[in-house]
Amino acid sequence: MSGYYIINGKRIYVYIGNSDKIPILYIHGAPGIGVLDMEKYQSDNFYPNYFLIAPEQRGVWRSEDLKEDEAFCIDLIIEDYEQIRRRLKIEKWIVLCHCIGARTAIEYYSKYPESIVMILCENPVLDSLSAFEQVIKIQLSLIRKNSLADFEHFSKKLKTIKNPLDLEKFCQKLEKKTHIQANNLTMSKTTIKKLSEIKNNFNIDLFMRSRKTEIKMSHCESLYQKIYGIMERVKVPMLVMHGEKDVTVSGNVIEQIKKRVSLCYFKEFRNCKHWIHLDSEQEYFSCVDGFIKKIWQKSVYCPERIE
């Protein structure tokens, strides 16, 4: 039943779907609006055949906020997911993730491989730096068209950045210079409209809660480190879904996943940006549903419950 659960001492909101069906854990990306987008626009698609479980991580949207002296920590988030799995008496589940949720999914598998049957990634971001780099490239190219002097100034400034906080400030200056917010580069008009409609139906305090957690996340230096070595440990099927017009995921990241994950599959979505599940709702679900049905082998796994 959807609602609040006390998980490892935190009050966590968890969307719960059809408990009689195949269990899927949904890992959202950067804090943003938690799982509201998945709950509103995809839950009806999943309900007939899947037990969709979509928690909002600690400090995100409806879940309990992080204290002032409490840092963002993927290890604690992973432990929350494991506790939820055991609380719901699920032996194993499929992991479906978006954006930097892919980083969490891979680290989760590395720590608890016996808990995960397969991983499906929507526009996977594996570290906090690569997404920044891709957006910065576009912003600098726009500045260069208008002023070579400004381009050289920002290019030199970029080389002096030594920590996540300075990087965030630098990106804010780029936005002011180009008059283009990063969201307008990464999101389609369809996604922006849908997310705005969701936000308008909730208290601004929830948005601010997530924003504070996102700032803590941006200062988490471990997220700026590559995890290519850990990726090689993934021995379950992995689907990479990539929006053709997404600017946050570089071709190199996709190639690294293909190279290092032995059972990797790839699907590109035309005319989609970073939020495929909002840009093309039915195509996204059909892809997820088709992949699971194609890979699923009941002789290998049955969704038994822990006693």
Backbone phi, then psi, for 27, in 5-degree steps?
-105, 115
Residues 21 and 59 in one domain: yes
Q: How many structural domains does the chain have?
A: 2
Strand 238-243 with 22-27, pairing? unpaired
Residues 30 and 162 in one domain: no
The confidence score (pLDDT) of residue 265 equals 94
Nearest residue to 237 via CA among 105, 78, 55 = 105
Which DSSP category does 274 fall into?
S
Residues 200 and 77 in one domain: yes
Structure tokens at 176: 């002011």
> Which domain-ending residue is among 142, 163, 186?
186
Residues 50 and 118 in one domain: yes
CB 164 within 8 A of CB 218: yes
Backbone phi, then psi, for 90, in 5-degree steps?
-100, 130
Residue 225 resides in a domain:
yes
Interval 78-132: pLDDT, tens:
999 999 999 999 999 999 999 999 999 999 999 999 999 999 999 999 988 877 7
Instruction: Give the C-alpha separation, 7 to 33, whole Å.
Output: 20
Instruction: Give the C-alpha separation, 30 to 45, whole Å.
Output: 23
Q: Which domain holds residue 153?
A: 130-186
Interval 154-174: pLDDT, tens:
888 887 876 667 777 887 888
> Which domain-ending residue is among 158, 186, 214?
186
Residues 282 and 141 in one domain: no
Residues 168 and 24 in one domain: no
- Residue 4 clears pLDDT 90, i.e. is over it: yes
The confidence score (pLDDT) of residue 176 equals 80
Interval 125-165: pLDDT, tens:
998 887 777 778 888 888 888 888 888 888 888 878 766 67
Count of C-beta atoms within a 10 Å radius of residue 258? 13
B/e letters for 12-50, b = 16+ CB within 10 Å, e = fewer, are bbbbbbeeeebbbbbbbbbbbbbbbbbbebbbebbeebb
- pLDDT (average), residues 199-220: 88
Interval 223-233: pLDDT, tens:
888 898 899 99
Residue 305 resides in a domain:
no
- pLDDT (average), residues 168-187: 77
Residues 153 and 290 in one domain: no
The confidence score (pLDDT) of residue 129 equals 80
Instruction: Give the C-alpha separation, 288 to 278, whole Å.
Output: 14
Least confident span in 31-45, 47-61, 161-175, 206-220:
161-175
**Cα 230–Cα 210–Cα 116 angle in degrees, nearest 5:** 30
The confidence score (pLDDT) of residue 244 equals 94
Strand 10-16 with 50-55, pairing? antiparallel
Residues 168 and 229 in one domain: no
Residue 135 resides in a domain:
yes
Residue 222 resides in a domain:
yes
Residues 73 and 221 in one domain: yes
Strand 50-55 with 93-98, pairing? unpaired
- Residue 306 clears pLDDT 50, i.e. is over it: no
E strand map for 37-102: 50-55, 93-98
Residues 25 and 60 in one domain: yes
The confidence score (pLDDT) of residue 225 equals 86
Residue 307 resides in a domain:
no
Residue 301 resides in a domain:
no
- The CATH number of residue 199's host domain is 3.40.50.1820
Residues 49 and 147 in one domain: no
Could you write out the DSSP letters of every residue in 215-261?
A: HHHHT-GGGGS--HHHHTT--S-EEEEEETT-SSS-HHHHHHHHHH-
Residue 303 resides in a domain:
no
Residue 306 resides in a domain:
no
Confidence of residue 209 (pLDDT cuts 50, 70, 90): very high
Q: How far is CA 286 from the centre of its chain?
A: 19
- What integer best gives the mean pLDDT of the chain? 89
The confidence score (pLDDT) of residue 297 equals 55
Interval 233-281: pLDDT, tens:
999 999 999 999 998 898 889 999 999 999 999 999 999 999 999 999 9
Least confident span in 51-60, 143-152, 154-163, 291-300:
291-300
Least confident span in 30-44, 79-93, 184-198, 267-281:
184-198
Residues 182 and 203 in one domain: no
